Structures are given as structure tokens and as C-alpha cells.
């Protein structure tokens, strides 16, 4: 019992230090990944749906649902990668990054990074689609896709 009393102190200190690092990692992710991203997603969706041939109430509903889904996915993603971020950065690095991103300039840079990230994803989509289509065609030239389709259809019955 005496031995466990002596070892509990260092373990508790390690747990407290780890918890602090995890909290910093979560804050870092909130500042650099979330920011105004839901607002940006909403604005992007509103612009895209404005061009769609949909009634106003459907556009509004879709925008609300997609924005809520995005916010939910971001919260889950942050929870999923928080440990990785805590393992990647030292406490000092996280403290410095959080301190910077909490400033007006840091928030501005973070917001612009999110905008650029969204623009990059949007620009990548058609290139990725065309490359995947080409790769799929090459795959079917190399392997017998018709036979695979028939086999899949039989196993699905």
C-alpha cells in the first residue's frame, strides 16, 4: 500500500500533463479546423443551391441539413484526431500555436487557410473524378469487370 502511494503521484502528474496536452490539441483543432468553416460551408451551399432548380423551401432545408451534418462530422473528426495532434506536437508547440491562433491575425490566417483548403478540394474534385474514371477503365481492360459484375450479382442473391 505504501508503494502504491508513492507511485500514484507520478502517474497522476502524467495523467494531468496528458490531459492538458489533449485539451491544447482540441483547442488547436477548433481554432485551425473549425473556425468559421460552418459559416463558409453554409454560404457555399447557398450559392450552389441558388443555381439549382429547387424551390426555396427545399434549398433552405438542404442548406440547414448539410450545415448541421458538416458541424457534426467536424466535431467527430476533431475527437478522432485529437490524440494524434497531441502526439505530433509538444506542449510548448501547442501552447504557442493556440496563443497565436487566438489572436486576431491568427484567426484571420486560420479562416483563410480553411477557405483555401475548401477551394483546393473543390478544384481537385474534377481532376480526381477524371483520374478515377480513367483508372477504372484501365482496370476493366486489365481484368474482366463483366465477369466480376456477374459474380457479384450472383453472390448478392
pLDDT for res 82: 96
What number of other Cβ atoms are within 10 A of residue 86's Cβ? 22
Question: 107 pLDDT exceeds 90?
Answer: yes
Biggest CA–CA distance in the chain, Å, is: 74
* Interacting residues of 42 by C-beta distance below 8 A, sequence separation 6+: 63, 67
Of 67-71, 123-127, 143-147, the range with the lowest mean pLDDT is 143-147
Residue tagged 443555381 (cell numbers): 51
Best CA proximity match to 20, nearest among 67, 77, 74, 82: 82
C-beta separation of 37 from 77 below 8 A? no
Question: 84 pLDDT exceeds 90?
Answer: yes
pLDDT: is 74 or 155 the higher one? 74
pLDDT for res 154: 75
Question: 52 pLDDT exceeds 80?
Answer: yes
Average pLDDT rounded to a whole number, residues 105-131: 91
Question: 111 pLDDT exceeds 80?
Answer: yes
pLDDT digits (tens, 9 = 90+) for 29-42: 999 987 778 888 89
Percentages of the chain per state (helix, strand, coil), in multiples of 5 = 90, 0, 10
pLDDT for res 9: 58
Task: Sort 59 into a burial class: Cβ within 10 Å, 0-12 / 13-18 / 19+.
Answer: middle
User: Which of the four pLDDT bands, split at 50, 70 and 90, describes residue 118?
Assistant: confident
Average pLDDT rounded to a whole number, residues 79-97: 97
Q: What is the pTM for the complete model shown? A: 0.67
pLDDT for res 33: 86
User: Which of the four pLDDT bands, split at 50, 70 and 90, describes residue 137?
Assistant: very high
Question: 2 pLDDT exceeds 70?
Answer: no
Amino acid at each position: 500500500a505504501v508503494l502504491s502511494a508513492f507511485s500514484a503521484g507520478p502517474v497522476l502528474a502524467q495523467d494531468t500533463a496528458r490531459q492538458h496536452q489533449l485539451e491544447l490539441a482540441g483547442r488547436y483543432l477548433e481554432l485551425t479546423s473549425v473556425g468559421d468553416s460552418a459559416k463558409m460551408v453554409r454560404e457555399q451551399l447557398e450559392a450552389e443551391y441558388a443555381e439549382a432548380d429547387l424551390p426555396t423551401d427545399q434549398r433552405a432545408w438542404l442548406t440547414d441539413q448539410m450545415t448541421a451534418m458538416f458541424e457534426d462530422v467536424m466535431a467527430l473528426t476533431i475527437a478522432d484526431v485529437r490524440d494524434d495532434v497531441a502526439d505530433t506536437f509538444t506542449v510548448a508547440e501547442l501552447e504557442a500555436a493556440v496563443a497565436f491562433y487566438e489572436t486576431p491575425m491568427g484567426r484571420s490566417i486560420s479562416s483563410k487557410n480553411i477557405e483555401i483548403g475548401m477551394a483546393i478540394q473543390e478544384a481537385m474534385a474534377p481532376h480526381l473524378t477524371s483520374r478515377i474514371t480513367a483508372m477504372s477503365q484501365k482496370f476493366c481492360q486489365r481484368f474482366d469487370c463483366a465477369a466480376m459484375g456477374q459474380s457479384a450479382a450472383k453472390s448478392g442473391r
